[in-house]
Chain A
């Protein structure tokens, strides 16, 4: 039965309480260790007796009734008669001893010891403890049985009757056993009271009996080996794995194998830009032209959007699939799709452009390697997006700070201005200056004219004569294809950031997100942080090899071994051997954006890192530094004004998981926002007051 009970976490006091209760409430047959009536007993199948099977066949004939009958006598001799009062004292002492020793010592030993020491608690515990070690080794089963099966012994009011009954019971059942086969007999011996049998051979069981029991004891101890040992050591509050997987895996080899077949590099692309620049339409049309969206679906969207009088949104509907997004015509959250080009697998993230949803855009852009910046070329619109509070500006700064290395600028809606080359050049020159100031080198920026709605110059080279006349550069797709994929750190310890939690098909929980470093395959055991619990990966679904996910991939993991409440957006899954650090305070180097209110000690802001969003407070301004050289200009400044850089200490309201920028670039970058404006971008330089996660990793 040990398999069904969580022996390790067994609260003995509670167990005994149950034992008392049972007389009041009655109990199901399942957790009945001694039978209610002797006749019922023989029909009960005891799993704990399984170990005896084979032995029993051999010694079938040698089981003699006298042997069993002898035991009660033995017992009587070992147990002096106690008065009621003494019995009560004995019971309370036993309980206390048990709470100290757990179930490692047989009750009998306890009793004798207590009697020897004349009901002195301290002395008896000492004696027992001194004995405990050898005793435990000698009688592993005994410990087991006593741990759970001696309830009736504790509830001694029943005891005298039981003893009287015993001879009867055993006789009748052995008799039955003989007639109906060996398997019955197994149950008989064991169920005639596990504890008694064990106790019996303390003294003088017959040679054969001894052999049987010893071997069965041995087997039991093997079976229960795992559960038995923790009983000795103090129970651990949380059981955490130490390794991600048992067999070591050559990740590089697996990785190259998975790459070898397709030969295409993965690239994460985020589409950003001012609200209504046409990001979703362009993305949707691109996917449609790439054949990712079926003709039928597109036709459906066309009809439905026409119905609401928003036909121009038909391609955007490919990305915007929720009701509110469609009815309002605004992207609210990041949409993800994957498609393949000639040389690349592109994971495209369509970010929202509206100011209110920048937190969502940050969580999307943080997962991207490169970006597609969409600007509206029509008169007045480009300028609106480029004003001080336009999203073109803010997004460009955000993606640079979030580590995007290359940008393709899609000059969209150029058809509205009759494919004017002059307009295109004008926009290009304005943006070139701006993007340089943000930190993109001109070699990292490509400009492509296009029209998202009509689909001009997205996949196929331009057909429009007005555009053909002056443009011969790449299409949007070519430009994406030409961008460089970053290297993927598959050898690093696993770090998976959770950006979505939902219930999977088979009632298992699923988490979606991006694996920043390392490698995860189904069956892995990972650590969920900052919640700190163990999690098992049941299944991995991702665009690369089935059942595995490599650094850089976004995918969905089906997980088990965790309560749904424990999973939350912003948590991380990581390698239990090398967990992330959990902290509430950290030191960081920040660059202050163009803000009205400067950053001072005590500034409250929202801290954004990947999908994490937590309120944070600036604890200390450590120094103001030169933006480009990084040398300290002023120690302990009073304020960090706009366009300056500095080193600060941040405190978060709840513990989160971070890495220093040095260790993991993706997880060391963050943004500070306040009242809807991004006030600073930062890199984590040090994790302060960190609770370097250790309790699980080192304890087991």
Chain B
């Protein structure tokens, strides 16, 4: 992402002129634009012109600049497409004031976002997104007998590229050619997905995670297949494949793979790896000393009021909330923790870790000291 211009008033209102470069930036933009904001961008609109006599001539597509007050935003994670729907707020030759329009935010085209209030989290997000050093591309293949996922992991999101599901007959038959055949078919399909979806020029590493020996067998197959097909790209990048153990082949096994110390070291600059570590720390603490680990807004807020929060885990879903007051509540919490010297990690809800954090209310905290009173106070109240 690139920033072209920024203008912020004292009252924190103002605008940013931005340009998205790639799919991941769309995800950032999706997180930046919330309902109520205004967005100026170029778009195409079908316009029907009326002549003086009242007859209409054929509709034609016009390229125009439009300024919308945003009502809803839609993000398609697999295609990395962002669609924004809203009402026109600027006089224009082609569209009435207040007329509805939906536009796709295009990569490599400038657009302007106007907000009444730019908060620190959003600004930080934009700055992070513009920092090229923070881009690390990673792919993960999780395999179990008959089921495999091929995913791309960027700093902000995990995108499922393909899911391979092949029925493999069990052992114990006199004729196991069927089993062998289906296994080959299974590997072949994963390999096809690897060829199609993984670009080794940008990828830092490919994690191959599976229980048992499947990962080795798959890698052997892939190398053999690549040799036969003369696929140089794969052969040259053999060292990028990292074999990791995981207990299953579901998508959430990525979390397990990223926890592996060997991988964690190699990928220390991948945001997802840091998130994984922190989440694991929180969950372990919840088991060993539950008085130092809390989740849910109410509990965490109480801990923050006592300056007890060492690390705050927040999911970015909360900042996308339609409810403005709620959004502000969480921003205040984050700022409070930061001011008290606490560490704040904003989890991307497109990662498996973020998914898990979302499941536990989206906000969690690791405390500096035990605060058993929080839970005791809470007896008999609403859900945590």
Contacts and interface: CB of A to CB of B under 8 A. Distances in A.
13 contacts: A332-B212, A333-B171, A333-B172, A359-B248, A512-B170, A569-B146, A598-B286, A601-B359, A604-B252, A641-B287, A641-B290, A676-B247, A676-B248
B284 A597 contact: yes
B68 to A, nearest CB: 36
A569 B361 CA distance: 34
Contacts of A512: 170
B383 interface: yes
A596 B169 CA distance: 36
Given A598-B290, A603-B360, 4 more contacts: A321-B176, A639-B286, A642-B287, A676-B246
A262 to B, nearest CB: 24
Contacts of B172: 321, 333, 335-336
B127 interface: no
Contact of B171 (A321, A328, A503, A606): A321
B5 interface: no
B167 interface: yes
Interface string B194-220: 000000000000000001110001000
Contact of A568 (B167, B247, B248, B356): B167
A569 B212 CA distance: 20
Contacts of B167: 501, 564, 567-569
Interface string B245-262: 111101110011000000
Size bin of chain B's contact surface: 35 or more
B283 interface: yes
Interface of A: 320-322, 324-325, 328, 332-336, 354, 356-357, 359, 499-503, 512, 564, 567-569, 595-598, 600-604, 606, 613, 615, 617, 636, 638-639, 641-642, 673, 675-677
Contact of B287 (A501, A597, A606, A673): A597
Contacts of A604: 252, 355-356, 359
A503 B252 CA distance: 32
B375 interface: yes
A450 B246 CA distance: 35
A596 B247 contact: no
A333 B384 contact: no
A590 to B, nearest CB: 16
Contacts of B246: 675-676
B231 interface: no
Looking at A320, A564, A595, A613, which has the most chain B CB atoms within 10 Å of its CB? A613
A502 B356 contact: no
B359 A328 contact: no
B384 A638 contact: yes
A175 to B, nearest CB: 61
Interface of B: 146, 167, 169-173, 176, 178-179, 211-213, 217, 245-248, 250-252, 255-256, 283-284, 286-288, 290, 295, 355-356, 358-361, 375, 383-384
Contact of B361 (A597, A602, A639): A602
Contacts of A603: 359-360
Given A597-B286, A600-B286, A641-B287, A615 B250 contact: yes
Contacts of A638: 290, 375, 384
A600 B295 contact: yes
A606 B286 contact: no
Contacts of B290: 598, 638-639, 641
A569 B145 CA distance: 12
A79 B288 CA distance: 91
Nearest to A565: B167
A320 B288 CA distance: 41
A357 B178 contact: no
Contacts of B284: 596-597
A475 to B, nearest CB: 26
B360 A502 contact: no
A620 to B, nearest CB: 8
Contacts of B361: 601-602
A502 B176 CA distance: 10
Contacts of A568: 167
B212 A357 contact: yes
B247 A356 contact: yes
A615 B252 contact: yes
A324 to B, nearest CB: 6
Looking at B171, B245, B248, B251, which has the most chain A CB atoms within 10 Å of its CB? B171
A503 B176 CA distance: 11
A38 B348 CA distance: 74
A601 B178 contact: no
A324 B170 contact: no
A54 B100 CA distance: 73
Contacts of B211: 356-357, 676
A48 B256 CA distance: 66
B163 to A, nearest CB: 12
Nearest to A611: B170
Looking at A332, A502, A564, which has the most chain B CB atoms within 10 Å of its CB? A502
B213 A328 contact: yes
A333 B248 contact: no
A324 B221 CA distance: 14
A324 B359 contact: no
A677 B248 CA distance: 11
A604 B248 CA distance: 13
A502 B361 CA distance: 44
B170 A499 contact: yes
4 tightest A-B CB contacts, nearest first: A602-B359, A676-B247, A502-B169, A356-B211
Looking at B172, B255, B360, B375, which has the most chain A CB atoms within 10 Å of its CB? B172
B359 A673 contact: no
Given A356-B247, A359-B248, A606-B250, A597 B283 contact: yes
Nearest to A556: B173
B178 A335 contact: no
A410 to B, nearest CB: 22
B286 A354 contact: no
A398 to B, nearest CB: 15
A565 B355 CA distance: 30
A322 B179 contact: yes
Contacts of A597: 283-284, 286-287
A617 B360 CA distance: 10
Contacts of A601: 359-361, 383-384
Looking at B255, B359, B361, which has the most chain A CB atoms within 10 Å of its CB? B359
A602 B279 CA distance: 13
B380 to A, nearest CB: 8
